[in-house]
Amino acid sequence: MTARTAAPVPGGTPYAASATVAAPPFGRWGQLVIGVICMVMIANLQYGWTFFVPDIQKKFGFDRAAIQWAFTLFVLFETWLVPVEGWFVDKYGPRVVVLFGGVLCAIGWVINSYATTLNMFYLGQVIAGIGAGAVYGTCVGSALKWFPDKRGLAAGITAAGFGAGSALTVAPIQWMIADHGFQAAFFNFGIGQGIIVVILALFLTSPKKEQLPQATTNANITQTRRNYTPGEVARQPIFWLMYFMFVIVGAGGLMITANLKPIAADIGVDKVPVTIMG
């Protein structure tokens, strides 16, 4: 299927003039939706971990702090390798990286389902972290590339998918842990989510210049005045201030989410039903 860029209409978004180019699968909004669904699929790798900790401790008798080192490793490998994964996206495209990430996410939780030692849990979480980072970084980057005219909206929708994924999977994970055990939950959710990410990755593509609307220049917004190289960004104090803000906010939030279920179990409220209204 091919699509020809049209001339802009008064008051509309200007598009770059171009020859006939192949349209992306499902259009650029379809690319955004695919990214959001992938984010939903990997969310509970991070936010769902807390539900497994009490059962792991109960079954194997590991020290809780030692168990949580697995989560620490997950977060480190999920985040610190994203620049490297971004380089692979630029070189090979989003399809390969997200497909690779989906496979690793599945492998990581399958390893967790068979783990009987701390080292096996550590290995599973490292592999899952690499996979989650590959999917997360690629989907956010893809949204920004496809929507140069709506970067804030596209990034916000994609990031929201990560939070929505955790909300949607809280109850199913807890039910499966309660009915079939945490090992079955690791295995079934790992395989299921990994398969969905792999299938969706096949439809991801990078935009060509002719497929994009021109970004609207706004003199009141600094980032639209010119593009900065990575080296220039690293020399900007504002970058390091923002980086520090992300670290402290993320660290506080992750410490709470990783320990929420154990804390609730300790004070005896983990079985108390909670309703949104009333």
pLDDT-wise least confident of 38-52, 89-103, 196-210, 244-258? 244-258
CATH 3.65.10.10 fits 31-213, yes or no: no
Look at residue 223 in the predicted model and tell me its pLDDT: 59
Look at residue 224 in the predicted model and tell me its pLDDT: 58
pTM: 0.81
- Residues whose CB falls within 8 Å of the CB of residue 224, separated by 6 or more in sequence, listed in order: 215, 216, 217, 218
In this predicted structure, the answer to whether residue 18 has a pLDDT above a threshold of 50 is no
The mean pLDDT of the chain is: 83
Closest of 163, 168, 142, 151 to residue 90, by C-alpha? 142
Instruction: Return the number of other C-beta atoms located less than 10 Å from residue 225's C-beta.
Output: 11
